[in-house]
Amino acid sequence: MTADSTKELFAAEEVLELLRLFKHDNLNHYQVIMGFLQLGKWDKALSYVKSTIDEINQNGRIMLLGSPYLSVTLFKKQLHAQRKNIFFKFEFTDQFSEHGLIRDSFACYCEELVNLVEKIINVGLERKDVRLCFDRLEDRLILELAVRPCFKDQGERLFKAGELLLEKLDIKGSIKERYFDEECRLIITLPEKSEVE
């Protein structure tokens, strides 16, 4: 058995384990909603549905990325970070998904980026929300990173980490723009499909 086939088998087993976990979570959501409805608490039922629908949709999109290894990696990182009060939200727009950029190099990039973000902001006890959005804008593929709350020194470190990561993985992209406000947005231009094949 080759290293690649072993990696694929390992990813497939973890995907099945994650599906079991999501099935359990979804049954819990269903029971909570039905409980509110049985008690006649319509507003609470609707509020709960609204709060969980984004999470369920996000999980579905990640499962459909076409890369079991990347899907498993993102879910594992997400679950592990929650124990440290860091909540990751991954978004892949339709424009991005249709472009077909998701390859092994991209999976490696995502994994490294999540590790760096977690390492940099893993201070203090307060809750931190991290949003990673992958999108396509005209002929550019972009990554938007938002961390809240984030101090300016953390923003500077995130920016430098992003630059080093592009260089390390030999990804032909560049920092498009950056902000150091309460959201600390870091936007990285990702390479075109032809550059990573």
CATH of the domain at 196: 3.30.565.10
Token pair listed for 86? 């860091």
d(CA 145, CA 161): 12
**If you search the block for the tokens 């124990």, which residue do you land on?**
83
The structure's pTM equals 0.64
Q: 9, 39, 63 — which closes off a domain?
A: 63
Beta strands in the chain (DSSP E): 86-92, 128-137, 140-148, 174-178, 186-190
86/167 same-domain check = yes
Domain extent, residue 98, equals 66-197
148/102 same-domain check = yes
d(CA 67, CA 109): 13
- Counting residues of the chain whose pLDDT is more than 90, the rounded percentage is 1
Look at the chain and report how many structural domains it folds into: 2
46/118 same-domain check = no
72/37 same-domain check = no
104/152 same-domain check = yes
45/76 same-domain check = no
146/196 same-domain check = yes
User: 29-85, pLDDT tens digit by residue?
Assistant: 888 888 988 999 999 888 888 888 877 787 777 877 777 778 888 888 888 888 888
